[in-house]
Amino acid sequence: MTKNKIKSIILFLYLWLCIGFPMGLWILLAGPSKWLSEYARSTDMEISKENVFGKLIIILYVIVAFLLALFIHRIVKKSTTKMIKWVLPGILTIILLTSVYIFSFHPQWLISYSGGIPARNVEMKQDKNSEELEFVFGAYPNEEMIKSLKEQGYTGIISLLHELVIPAEPALIKDEIEIANKYDIKVINMAMLPWISGNEKTLQYAKDFIETEKGLYYVHCYLGRDRVNIFKAAVKQYGVKTTSESTIINHRLEDEPTWERGDYFKLEEGVYLTPYPTDDEFMKYILNDYFKTVISLLDSSKVINQKWITKESELFTDYPMKYVNYPLVNSFGQEDLMQLKTFINTKEKPILLHGFLTNDLISKFIINNY
């Protein structure tokens, strides 16, 4: 490959970055993806359909960014004037640096909110004095919304944003505190990481808070999705009553039939067989208060399984769903399956069963003979 060819490829990739990064931020946080989300909420669109349209938006975005980069690359390469060769890439560089700066230090500028009153999803604390603690869940609030929360009589805001989620969330935390101070409404930080580990202290903090506080609080993460769902599910085991009304996005198994370690299978109504969930799948599907019981089918006598069983058993101590290890061995047969079905019928549904993969002999036997 010639030196000029290498330079040409590098230039094209750089132009693609200059176009793709700013365009992606706009599409995902303030443009078509945001509009789709708002439309889906207003029309009660099924999440599976929303996901299909969302993926189409991403595919179109990648194609358009690629074609624009290719078009500009050809203009720059064919141009005989230095002005075109340098000014055009220079302008795109400025746009890239500006978008990186906004994403790093002012990410709230990318988010367009309606400023309306958030839908009530009430969590009520029941104690001897019948005092109430209410949580309303949602996404990161802008200034108009914070002002509205104060006017509605909210006691405070509980932020699940974390300083380690860089570069966006430290800036969001700083801005939220400044705006909240302006309107004299307190912000309580119960920082949660957007993955399953590292949140034990926050969950303990939430427990202590529920036991001692009362009032109306707006609870949010960044987009009002996974961390909010996990917080909502976790506090249920601390004597908190949850209403069924919700505007939070709950991921369902039907939205992602293929998991990282294999497909999931619906064995009967309310009983699902899946592979061992990844951390992301735990966040999306397991800890969001849908499943009431999780049954691990891993053979605890095998050393290779022990770390997975330990990880899961420790994880579920912080959440309201019941966790059981029901080890299956390779000699698993029809009689064992009947015993498993009897055991399943003693547990609260919906139930998630899992081994490690779903293409092993035991899983295939269960799928074919359940």
Are 11 and 19 in contact by the 8 Å Cβ rule? The answer is: no
pTM (2 d.p.): 0.57
Q: Is the dihedral angle over the CA atoms 44, 27, 283, 231 positive or is it negative? A: negative
Structure tokens that stand for 360 in this block: 């092993």
What one-letter code names the amino acid at 68?
A: L
Quote the CA–CA distance of 271 and 67 in Å, as a whole number: 46
Strands 258-259 and 262-263: antiparallel
> In tens digits, what is the pLDDT along the chain, a chain of 370 residues?
688 888 889 999 999 999 999 998 788 766 787 677 667 656 666 655 666 787 788 899 999 999 999 999 999 888 888 777 888 899 999 999 988 887 777 666 665 443 344 444 434 444 434 467 888 888 888 888 888 888 888 899 999 998 887 667 888 888 899 999 999 999 999 998 877 666 778 888 888 888 888 888 898 887 766 788 788 877 777 665 544 334 445 556 666 667 888 888 999 989 999 999 988 788 778 887 778 899 999 999 999 999 999 989 888 887 778 999 999 988 899 999 999 999 999 999 999 999 998 888 999 999 999 9
Residue 31 to residue 220: CA distance in whole angstroms: 21
Neighbouring-strand partners of residue 220:
138, 159
Report the topology of domain 253-369: Protein-Tyrosine Phosphatase; Chain A (3.90.190)
Domains 123-242 and 253-369 belong to one CATH topology? yes
Query: Of 214, 193, 213, which Cα lies nearest the Cα of 203?
Result: 193
Pairing state between β 265-268 and 271-274: antiparallel
Give the integer Cα–Cα distance in Å for 19 and 26.
11
User: For 123-242, CATH number?
Assistant: 3.90.190.10
pLDDT for 123: 44
Residue 87: CA atoms inside 13 Å, Cβ hemisphere, count? Answer: 6
Contact 281, 259 (CB under 8 A): yes
Tell me the residue type at 154. Y
Q: What are the sequence ranges of the domains in the chain?
A: 3-110, 123-242, 253-369
* Beta bridge partner(s), residue 274: 354
Q: What is the pLDDT of residue 187?
A: 95
Neighbours of 158 (CB within 10 A): 22
